[in-house]
Structure 1
Amino acid sequence: MLTTQAISRRNFVAGLAAGATGLMVAPGRAMASLSPNERPVFATIGLRNQGWGITAKTFQFADFAALADVDNNVLETNLEGAKQRQGKKPDGYKDYRHILDRKDIDAVMIATPDHWHTKISVEAMLAGKDVYCEKPLTLTAAEGKLIEKVVEQTGRVFQVGTMQRTECDKRFILAVALIRAGRIGDLKKITCAIGGATASPKIPVADVPEGLDWDFWLGPAAEVPYRALPEIRQGYGGNVPLFSNCHYAFRDWFEYSGGQLTDWGAHHVDIANWALDAADTGPSKVTPISYDMPVEYRDGYPVAADQSNVPTKFELRVDMPNEVELIITSEGDNGIMFEGTKGRFFVNRGKIVGKPVEELEANPLPEGAMEKVYGGPISANHSANLIECMRSRKQPISDVWSHNRAMEILHLGNIAMRLGREIAWNPVSREIVGDDQASTFLARESREKYAINM
């Protein structure tokens, strides 16, 4: 298992001085700070849905020199879209490594399926690129530790796609500020409602869609046949099969993702940790209260290979520091309920409601309270925060270390449901306590030809 001593954003600079000689780093153009008026040069790797979304919102700040995707149809569509937006067509690649070889590219945005995130992120940093990577950042806890180590040793700016820290009308920053100001007394309970999943029917082996390099899409994951049913997904993530082991539906397979727990959980549990001021610590225990698995499991692994396998419904109890109880559930209104000794309130992407919020009209927070939570002036949006940090060489508000602490909770939750038992955790050593079988799920093996190039 890959391990490294955890460090926080507070000791990031000290960590750089101590550990900068451990890895070979390519001298990318962004090794020095950008000038205030300089437009950075970006590339995006993984372009379907969120990949194009993060690219589109960044055109106002950066020039895109290259795009990459293993699906040629997606690649060509987005190359034309980029040409229309910035007046110049980026170079297109199936193999992202051509992007990393280029010295003119300052930063990469990564929106591949989750099982590719760590490999591309590490190799990009070693090539001298700053990185934005979509959440959930990792497939395992060991991957998170590796990314932290490489950020520390290369000095790259690394932003995670937990946009609730910057966007959504600043509701979540206000929520954290309310708690830090004591407006609900001592925090006792947090409930993160993140929605559930839909079990798939049996999915047959199917022909790989024309233009898709299936082996490259699988990458570090085990070699398996492509599966799909003909029904097409409607709405967001559309124009792909509703049930498959690829494209949008990859989130429903532990081989490539962590289901709803790591998808939406990466957002709400991150905010819960932020409110708890738990960026440098974690739980002592994760207990599965109830859960529904769509297929039979044996020793933590699904028996069936022809159906999606992540939990469809669940309720987890997480024992957090200072005797705070964190509940993660698939039921209820998507959002976060904070409960304290003097009141409670609810926040999501559409609203923040409750008596402590209503009382702000007569008793507003002190001036600068939200900026204090944020650590300075609040950025206009996520991309703006990234480029501000590329100039200052500080880490973004959505940093690697705090994100990984939230992800460890979510990874442990999935392990607990896969094995059907509570998991004890040491938040200092970041290891499972007294359960050797459960500990084997903290890392994974990669196919040799897609191992991380260190």
Structure 2
Amino acid sequence: MSQNKRLSSRRSFFKQTVSAAGAAATGGGLVPYFLTASRAQAATASSDRPLIACIGNGGQGNHNMGLAMNYADVVAVCDVDSGRAAAAKQASGGKADVYDDYRKVLDRKDVQAVSIGTPDHWHTKIAIEAMKSGKDVYCEKPLTLTIDEGKKICQVVKETGAVFQVGTQQRSDFDRLFLRAVAIIQSGRLGKVSKVSCAINSAESSPQLPVVAPPKELNWERWLGQAPLVDYRWQGGKDAEGADIPYKSRGHYEFRWWYEYSGGKMTDWGAHHVDVACWALGLDQTGPNSVRVELCEHPVPFEKGYPTRDDMYNTATAFRVVNTFDDAGVELTIRHDTDNGVLFEGDKGRLFVSRGKLAGKPVEELADNPLPEDALRKAFKGSEPVSHMQNFFDCVRSRKEPQSDVFSHHRSLSNCHLANIALRLNRDLKWDPVKEAMIGDNEAQSFVAREQRKGYEITV
């Protein structure tokens, strides 16, 4: 399949998916939701459907737009890929204005909230500027590219009072299996938990990818954002015998397999499962004291933490990293080589949870000894559990903290960032969770933040 045909096919799928989700949206005309009053005053206009803009119109971005259309009116879409932006406009019902520069979206005073579905390396800059412009934010996971970016987002949320929901949907969705697991653990049914394993599967590798011209509809320089300016790489189509060549690229979707833009499986799935582990065990307001590398495999050679070639995927393909929380007496292992899900081990039993399974002795015992009636509400910050997107818009109106807040996500995701730093350097680390700094390792500390390309700096 050619590159253009593949992109067209994927856009058609996204359009159909979002159109189906949007069909469930409630009716009503577009009512201006101006931010001339305070956030809280604006949110009390309960009869209004808030106006939202969707920045980043790829697969997950458009999926989130479809969900948002159940609670809000989409008035703007924005992407550096004009084809994706056009497809998103159609999926929104054709009413949304189209932009290629997110700053023009943030200039609009009628937009109350933004949904951010860009590649990971763009999340922080857009989110911070959105909050400073008076918008509430729903942003996909993993929220940040570095630990330092997480600290910056937390600072701006405190300063602006923005409602900010991170897209770790396992806290709310997937038949509430993870919510039920957390309620079981927090009710003491496992006793003292000393070990938790987050299995997130192995990551992709690639052959050597050739340099090709970027698609004409893609502004490649702007897509790169804070990352270094490099050539666009892509492989696909047919081989000499007519068989399909698997699509590989340095760009859409495949960005997650490049450390320049993401963190591989460690942050892609780790952002979900490590979040659940830290949430359940009350570790989402602190951090580990040490990081131990037990297994590390990268698809390309590394030197001083950096890949030595730029024509292949470079994030870790096989890994086992153990983060130790001294005060809590817990070892958190992130690994690729067991069944995808989270395994908790306590002195009263074990519990395994995934997107399709909740199992273990404490689960079996629920038949004779059910959880207290308010157990799920307690785990859901005292509110009746609802879907992740509904929770966001409920909080936009109430000004309460959403289920997946930036502060807990920053702390949970820092485990993944630290694991990646250890993997890139292939050595153990010592971490001060209070100062959020490396202990006695200046080289490792240099990876806590990154230099940003001129013109794309992140400021607070």
Do these two structures clear the TM 0.5 threshold for a shared fold by scoring above it?
yes
Q: Which residue of 2 aligns with 1:136?
A: 142
Matching residue's letter, 1:196:
S
Q: Can you give the 5+ residue segments of structure 1 that lack an aligned partner in the other structure? A: 1-25, 233-238
Equivalent-residue separation in structure 2 for 1:445 and 1:378 (angstroms): 43
Per the TM alignment, residue 30 of structure 1 is displaced from its structure 2 partner at its CA by 3.9
Report if aligned partners of 1:191, 1:338 keep a CA contact under 8 Å in 2. Answer: yes
Q: In the superposition, relative to structure 1, how do residues 231 and 253 fare at CA in structure 2: closer, same or farther (>3 Å)?
A: farther
Q: Which residue of 1 aligns with 2:310?
A: 305
Per the TM alignment, residue 270 of structure 1 is displaced from its structure 2 partner at its CA by 0.3
Report if aligned partners of 1:34, 1:40 keep a CA contact under 8 Å in 2. Answer: no
Q: In the superposition, relative to structure 1, how do residues 206 and 338 fare at CA in structure 2: closer, same or farther (>3 Å)?
A: same
Q: How does 1:29-428 map to 2 (within 5 A)?
A: 30=39, 32=41, 33-83=43-93, 88-231=94-237, 242-320=247-325, 321-428=327-434
Equivalent-residue separation in structure 2 for 1:108 and 1:58 (angstroms): 10
Report if aligned partners of 1:34, 1:390 keep a CA contact under 8 Å in 2. Answer: no
1:437 partnered with 2:443: yes
TM-score by length of 2: 0.89
Report if aligned partners of 2:437, 2:445 keep a CA contact under 8 Å in 1. Answer: yes
Report if aligned partners of 1:29, 1:105 keep a CA contact under 8 Å in 2. Answer: no
Per the TM alignment, residue 27 of structure 1 is displaced from its structure 2 partner at its CA by 5.8
Report if aligned partners of 2:191, 2:346 keep a CA contact under 8 Å in 1. Answer: yes
- Higher mean C-alpha displacement, 169-178 vs 130-139: 169-178
Report if aligned partners of 1:29, 1:103 keep a CA contact under 8 Å in 2. Answer: no
Per the TM alignment, residue 453 of structure 1 is displaced from its structure 2 partner at its CA by 5.6
Q: In the superposition, relative to structure 1, how do residues 374 and 439 fare at CA in structure 2: closer, same or farther (>3 Å)?
A: same
How high is the sequence identity, in percent, across the aligned residues?
48
Equivalent-residue separation in structure 2 for 1:329 and 1:348 (angstroms): 15
Equivalent-residue separation in structure 2 for 1:27 and 1:160 (angstroms): 26
Report if aligned partners of 1:39, 1:61 keep a CA contact under 8 Å in 2. Answer: yes
Q: In the superposition, relative to structure 1, how do residues 163 and 240 fare at CA in structure 2: closer, same or farther (>3 Å)?
A: farther
Report if aligned partners of 2:204, 2:317 keep a CA contact under 8 Å in 1. Answer: yes
Report if aligned partners of 1:166, 1:378 keep a CA contact under 8 Å in 2. Answer: no
Matching residue's letter, 1:290:
L
Q: Deviations over 1:415-453 (max 9, x none)?
A: 001111111111111111110000000001111112236
Q: Deviations over 1:178-213 (max 9, x none)?
A: 111111111111010001112111111011112000
Report if aligned partners of 2:198, 2:274 keep a CA contact under 8 Å in 1. Answer: yes
Matching residue's letter, 1:434:
G
Q: In the superposition, relative to structure 1, how do residues 66 and 240 fare at CA in structure 2: closer, same or farther (>3 Å)?
A: farther
Per the TM alignment, residue 34 of structure 1 is displaced from its structure 2 partner at its CA by 3.3
Equivalent-residue separation in structure 1 for 2:125 and 2:112 (angstroms): 18
Q: In the superposition, relative to structure 1, how do residues 222 and 97 fare at CA in structure 2: closer, same or farther (>3 Å)?
A: same
1:452 partnered with 2:453: no
Equivalent-residue separation in structure 2 for 1:137 and 1:240 (angstroms): 32
Q: Which residue of 1 aligns with 2:31?
A: none
Per the TM alignment, residue 60 of structure 1 is displaced from its structure 2 partner at its CA by 1.1
Per the TM alignment, residue 35 of structure 1 is displaced from its structure 2 partner at its CA by 2.2
Report if aligned partners of 1:191, 1:327 keep a CA contact under 8 Å in 2. Answer: yes
Q: Which residue of 1 aligns with 2:17?
A: none
Report if aligned partners of 1:27, 1:128 keep a CA contact under 8 Å in 2. Answer: no
Q: Deviations over 1:330-367 (max 9, x none)?
A: 11111001110011011011110111101100110111
TM-score by length of 1: 0.90
Q: Deviations over 1:145-164 (max 9, x none)?
A: 00001000011111100000
Per the TM alignment, residue 31 of structure 1 is displaced from its structure 2 partner at its CA by 5.5
Per the TM alignment, residue 221 of structure 1 is displaced from its structure 2 partner at its CA by 0.8
Q: Deviations over 1:102-142 (max 9, x none)?
A: 00000000000000001000000010000011000000000
Matching residue's letter, 1:431:
A
Aligned residues: 419
Equivalent-residue separation in structure 2 for 1:201 and 1:348 (angstroms): 31
Matching residue's letter, 2:340:
N
Q: In the superposition, relative to structure 1, how do residues 279 and 159 fare at CA in structure 2: closer, same or farther (>3 Å)?
A: same
Equivalent-residue separation in structure 2 for 1:278 and 1:191 (angstroms): 14
Per the TM alignment, residue 77 of structure 1 is displaced from its structure 2 partner at its CA by 1.1
